[in-house]
Amino acid sequence: MEKIFDLFFGLPLHPLIDHVVVIFLPVFSMALIAAFFFNSIRKKYGFLIQIGLGIAAVSAFIAKQSGEALSMRIGTPIQHANLGENLVIIAFALFAVSVVWFYLQRDSKNLISKLTGIVAVSLAIAALVFTVLVGHTGAKATWEEKISQKPVTQENKSSSQEKTSSNNSNSTSVTLNATEVAKHNNSADCWTIVNNEVYDLTSYINSHPGGVPNIERLCGIDGSQAFQAQHGGQGKPNTQLSKLIIGSVGQVLDSKTSNSNTQTKPNSDNQSSVALNSTEVSKHNSVNDCWTVVNNQVYDLTSYLNSHPGGVRNIEQICGKDGSILFQNQHGSQSRPNNVLSGFILGSLSDPGNNLSTPTKSVGGEGEGDDD
**CA separation for the pair 265, 191 (Å, rounded):** 14
- Claim to verify: residue 113 and residue 177 sit in the same structural domain: no
Q: How many domains does the chain have?
A: 3
- Claim to verify: residue 120 and residue 166 sit in the same structural domain: no
Domain assignment of residue 250, yes or no: yes
pTM over the 0.85 mark: no
Amino acid at 111: L
Q: pLDDT tens string for the chain (372 positions)?
A: 556 887 888 888 888 999 999 999 999 999 999 999 999 999 999 999 999 999 999 999 999 998 887 776 666 677 788 888 999 999 999 999 999 999 988 766 678 988 999 999 999 999 999 999 999 988 887 777 666 555 554 444 444 445 444 444 445 678 888 888 888 998 888 999 988 889 998 888 877 766 677 788 889 898 888 787 777 666 667 777 888 888 888 788 765 555 555 444 444 444 445 778 888 889 999 988 899 998 888 888 887 777 777 778 888 899 999 988 888 888 876 766 776 777 678 888 888 766 788 887 765 544 434 433
Distance, CA of 276 to chain centre: 29
- Claim to verify: residue 189 and residue 142 sit in the same structural domain: no
Three-class DSSP category at 42: helix
In DSSP terms, 296 is beta-bridged to none
- Claim to verify: residue 331 and residue 292 sit in the same structural domain: yes
Instruction: Find the helix packing angle between 224-231 and 235-242, rounded to 10°.
Output: 140
- Claim to verify: residue 26 and residue 126 sit in the same structural domain: yes
- Claim to verify: residue 178 and residue 273 sit in the same structural domain: no
- Claim to verify: residue 242 and residue 165 sit in the same structural domain: yes
- Claim to verify: residue 274 and residue 236 sit in the same structural domain: no
Strand residues in 220-343 grouped as ranges (E): 245-248, 252-254, 285-286, 289-294, 297-300, 321-322
Domain that holds residue 34: 7-148
Please report, for the domain that includes residue 325, its CATH number. Answer: 3.10.120.10
